[in-house]
């Protein structure tokens, strides 16, 4: 089968460009040849070693990472919505979170060997624990700007989700509300604290614990349980529900991002 016209043009360009290695690498992991190679170069610039533009301004991949995060959320949400037509919103949200969480994206980024192409001050594990996941989000942002939503969606579903996630296994995985909440706060670099606020006894004199969860200095929710672990889970579930349903509270929490920068 003859390659499409756009691929033929890209192949011809490849004969004359100076960034042949990056062109080939991007095509290998996305399935598309870059139109604007500068976007992909920027996607691989870590904030620890910013790039100076011709106008003197310093830049890195964080803006592309922000954009790619949003595109990933939408593409995965749409895919799960179609795959599981009878599942409720909570299930869809939980499953999406397992795919787009930082640890998952970091694993996929490592499989793509992104770190070997990232411009960074150091590649030590301590400094760049999520360098692969961050670069993957930035790469998605680059594909979106370069090829539009349809192709970025194809990249996400065909090259990321289908090849690196077992949906059946994700569905079988036991829900852990505390882990999900911690993963969400890590994704946005927010602090989280569990505070024991009360200990009481039920009618049978069994001890009951009440725990509050604090996100970025904001009270999120509290939960009770017959163990501290159970109270943490119940508080986390309520906090997750509030983050998904209370837009005002979610905005207040995320505003902490701007204050920390």
Q: How far apart are the first and last CA of the chain?
A: 51
Instruction: For residue 119, count CB atoms less than 10 angstroms from its CB and return exposed for 0-12, middle for 13-18, buried for 19 or more.
Output: middle
What is the pLDDT, as a whole number, of residue 200?
92
Please report how the helices 20-30 and 131-147 are oriented relative to each other, as an axis angle in degrees rounded to 10: 90
Distances (CA, A) of 256 to 25, 75, 185, 190, 217: 37, 26, 11, 8, 9
Q: What is the mean pLDDT of residues 75-81?
A: 96
**Of 65, 73, 103, 137, which one is the catalytic site residue?**
137
Buried b (16+ CB within 10 A) or exposed e, 179-193: ebbbbbbebeebebe
Task: CATH 3.30.160.20 in the chain: give the residue spans.
Answer: 177-260
pLDDT band at 124 (very low <50, low <70, confident <90, very high): very low
**Of 69, 115, 146, 258, which one is the catalytic site residue?**
69
57 or 89: which leads in pLDDT:
57
What is the pLDDT, as a whole number, of residue 257?
62
47 or 261: which leads in pLDDT:
47
What is the pLDDT, as a whole number, of residue 214?
96
Quick check: 46 and 124 in contact, CB under 8 A? no
- Position 8 pLDDT exceeds 70: no
Quick check: 231 and 225 in contact, CB under 8 A? yes
- Position 173 pLDDT exceeds 70: no
195: left (phi over 0), alpha (psi -120 to 50) or beta: beta
Q: What is the mean pLDDT of residues 151-168?
A: 95
- Position 10 pLDDT exceeds 70: no
- Position 150 pLDDT exceeds 50: yes
Closest CA relative to residue 180, chosen from 96, 120, 105: 96
Taking the alpha carbons of 198, 90, 87, 162 in that order, is the dihedral positive or negative? negative
Q: What is the mean pLDDT of residues 96-123?
A: 86
What is the pLDDT, as a whole number, of residue 259?
56
Active-site residue flag, 69: yes
Is it true that domain 177-260 has CATH number 1.10.20.60?
no
Task: CATH 1.10.1520.10 in the chain: give the residue spans.
Answer: 17-172
Quick check: 234 and 241 in contact, CB under 8 A? no
- Position 89 pLDDT exceeds 80: no
Q: What integer best gives the mean pLDDT of the chain?
A: 85
Tell me the pLDDT tens digit for each residue of 32-77.
889 999 999 999 998 888 877 777 788 899 999 999 999 999 999 9
Is it true that domain 17-172 has CATH number 1.10.1520.10?
yes
- Position 128 pLDDT exceeds 80: no
Active-site residue flag, 174: no
- Position 260 pLDDT exceeds 80: no
Tell me the pLDDT tens digit for each residue of 196-237.
999 998 766 778 899 999 999 999 999 998 778 888 988 999
The H or E element containing residue 221 is: strand 218-225
Token pair 């200095």 is found at 217
- Position 3 pLDDT exceeds 50: no
């Amino acid at each position: 089968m003859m390659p499409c016209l756009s691929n033929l043009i890209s192949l011809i360009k490849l004969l004359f460009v100076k960034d042949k290695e990056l062109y080939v690498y991007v095509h290998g992991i996305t399935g598309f040849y870059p139109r604007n190679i500068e976007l992909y170069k920027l996607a691989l610039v870590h904030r620890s070693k910013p790039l100076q533009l011709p106008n003197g301004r310093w830049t890195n991949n964080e803006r592309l990472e922000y954009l790619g995060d949003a595109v990933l959320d939408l593409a995965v949400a749409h895919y799960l919505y179609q795959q599981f037509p009878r599942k409720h919103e909570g299930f869809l949200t939980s499953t999406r979170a397992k795919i787009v969480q930082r640890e998952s994206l970091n694993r996929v980024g490592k499989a793509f060997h992104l770190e070997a192409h990232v411009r960074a001050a150091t590649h030590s594990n301590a400094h760049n624990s999520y360098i692969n996941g961050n670069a993957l989000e930035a790469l998605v942002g680059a594909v979106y700007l370069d090829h539009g939503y349809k192709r970025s969606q194809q990249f996400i579903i065909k090259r990321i989700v289908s090849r690196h996630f077992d949906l059946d296994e994700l569905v079988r995985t036991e829900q852990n509300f505390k882990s999900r909440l911690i993963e969400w706060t890590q994704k946005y670099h927010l602090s989280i604290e569990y505070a024991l606020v009360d200990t009481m006894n039920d009618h049978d004199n069994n001890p009951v614990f009440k725990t509050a969860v604090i996100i970025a200095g904001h009270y999120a929710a509290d939960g009770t349980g017959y163990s501290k672990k159970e109270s943490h889970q119940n508080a986390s579930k309520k906090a997750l529900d509030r983050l998904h349903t209370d837009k005002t509270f979610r905005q207040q929490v995320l505003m902490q991002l701007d204050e920390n920068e």
